[in-house]
A = this chain, B = another copy of it.
Amino acid sequence: MLKAEAFEVAKVREDFPILKRKVHGKRLVYLDNAATTQKPQLVVDALVDFYTRYNSNVHRSVHTLGEEATAAYEAARSKTAKFVGADPKGLVFVRGTTEATNLVRFAWGEKNVKKGDVLVATLMEHHSNIVPWQLLARSKGATLKYVGLNPDGTLDMGQLEDLLREAPRLVAVAHCSNVLGTINEVSAICAMAKKVGATTVVDGAQSVPHMPVDIGAVGADFYAFSGHKMLAPTGVGALAARKELLEEMDPFQSGGEMIKEVFEDHSTWNDVPYKFEAGTVNIADAIGLGTAVDYLSSIGMERVRKHEVALLDYALRALSEVKGVKIYGPPDPARRGGVVSFNYADVHPHDLATILDEEGVAIRSGHHCAQLLMRWLDVPATARASFHVYNSYDDVDALTAGLHKAGKLFRL
């Protein structure tokens, strides 16, 4: 099998200090990137630099540290917005994808969803793109309906069309599934939804970190993603939306920073995006996200994607050669993200993860915050290996070797 590299992985690996670590005396093989990615030295350095050179609160400050911190924070916003083709004035820093969908629920949903409305999500959504709509539907007397899947793990577009005929108020869909890897046709879906007047929420948690994304081209009303899944620190992510849409919305959290004037009986709001950033923001980590964006851009998202497709192709072939392994999701690597969910005979994913961990191989096991999808797959859980820039063909080989060991232990 040809193992061409889109870039020099060995060199990239040197940027990630954690990869030198040993686990149970073995080389760390980190294949849990869909949960969170590792961080390059550059990002760690950005945090250290902030805290040791110009740490300060932002926006309300006249002194030098405050002005430097504000400039860096806003530069991070601009860089992040540019990276995903969004308007910086429409890019709100949040904790992550979950806070982003919740912001939409509270600030847009409470105002715009009415009794009897239909909301649409898909059966492959992460809980963070389901539960907020469940609670919204309950509080408003609306109904949440789901688009089902085809046997290959792609969306049932016919069913989506049927649901769109009910003129839903909201369509919530993942750009890329964190379990199946399915890359959904989000720009087509957003266009279809727009025609029937639905507002669209696209969950980009598994797309932005792994492939070139142009939110403008996607045409989503709201687009959410998490920094920690794209080489940035924990605690930061973004919601991107049109500035005008944000302006029409009610605030979400309230307090300092998001106000213009406060009176005893009412207050007025700051301009967007600040209106949605109540209280002291996560300054350092937002700056870290800006640095992660710089790092990813220096490699190039086309090449990141190419690398992951190559690994995926290799992994899908290798795993399908292990007897008893069942792989979920679309078979074509070009149509899916760098994540492989599978089950191995009657070895429970948890047991598999424990056995692999002993070999230094970190995978995820469980429902991956996608219990509706688990029920559709009719499994309690899956094992999941997922890639990023620093993963290599060797990592996939370590995974396969671990599977063989598990097979032996379980007398398969």
A→B interface (CB under 8 Å): 17-18, 21, 23-24, 28, 30, 32, 35-36, 38-39, 41, 43-44, 47-48, 51-57, 60-66, 95-99, 101-102, 105-106, 126-132, 134-135, 138, 144, 146, 226, 228, 233-236, 251, 253-259, 261-267, 278-285, 350, 353-354, 356-357, 361-366, 369, 371-372
Whether B255 pairs with A127 at a CB distance below 8 angstroms is yes
In the complex, A23 Cα to B67 Cα: how many Å?
12
Whether A56 pairs with B362 at a CB distance below 8 angstroms is yes
Whether B36 pairs with A56 at a CB distance below 8 angstroms is yes
In the complex, A24 Cα to B150 Cα: how many Å?
64
Whether A363 pairs with B234 at a CB distance below 8 angstroms is no
Whether A366 pairs with B60 at a CB distance below 8 angstroms is yes
Whether B98 pairs with A280 at a CB distance below 8 angstroms is yes
Across the interface, which residues of B come within 8 angstroms of A62, CB to CB?
Answer: 350, 353-354, 357, 364-365
Q: Which residue of B lies closest to A352 (CB)?
A: B62
Whether A285 pairs with B48 at a CB distance below 8 angstroms is no
Whether B18 pairs with A35 at a CB distance below 8 angstroms is no
Whether B364 pairs with A254 at a CB distance below 8 angstroms is no
From residue A11, how far is it (CB to closest CB) to chain B in Å? 18
Q: By DSSP majority rule, is chain A's interface helix, strand, loop, or mixed?
A: mixed
Tell me which of B39, B57, B98, B257 contacts A279 (CB under 8 A). B98
From residue A310, how far is it (CB to closest CB) to chain B in Å? 24
In the complex, A57 Cα to B296 Cα: how many Å?
21
In the complex, A23 Cα to B281 Cα: how many Å?
24
Whether B371 pairs with A261 at a CB distance below 8 angstroms is yes
- Known contacts: A259-B131, A285-B235, A357-B63. The answer to whether A254 contacts B102 by CB under 8 A is yes
Across the interface, which residues of B come within 8 angstroms of A353, CB to CB?
Answer: 62-63
Whether B282 pairs with A234 at a CB distance below 8 angstroms is yes
- Known contacts: A38-B55, A48-B44, A254-B131. The answer to whether A64 contacts B98 by CB under 8 A is no
Whether A66 pairs with B32 at a CB distance below 8 angstroms is yes
Whether B131 pairs with A267 at a CB distance below 8 angstroms is yes
From residue A227, how far is it (CB to closest CB) to chain B in Å? 10
Whether A127 pairs with B256 at a CB distance below 8 angstroms is yes
In the complex, A235 Cα to B57 Cα: how many Å?
12
Tell me which of B52, B281, B369, B371 contacts A18 (CB under 8 A). B52
Which residue, of A61, A254, A281, A371, has the highest number of chain B Cβ atoms within 10 A? A254
Q: Which residue of B lies closest to A135 (CB)?
A: B254
**8 pairs across A/B with beta carbons < 8 Å?**
A39-B55, A56-B362, A62-B357, A130-B255, A132-B254, A233-B285, A235-B283, A259-B371
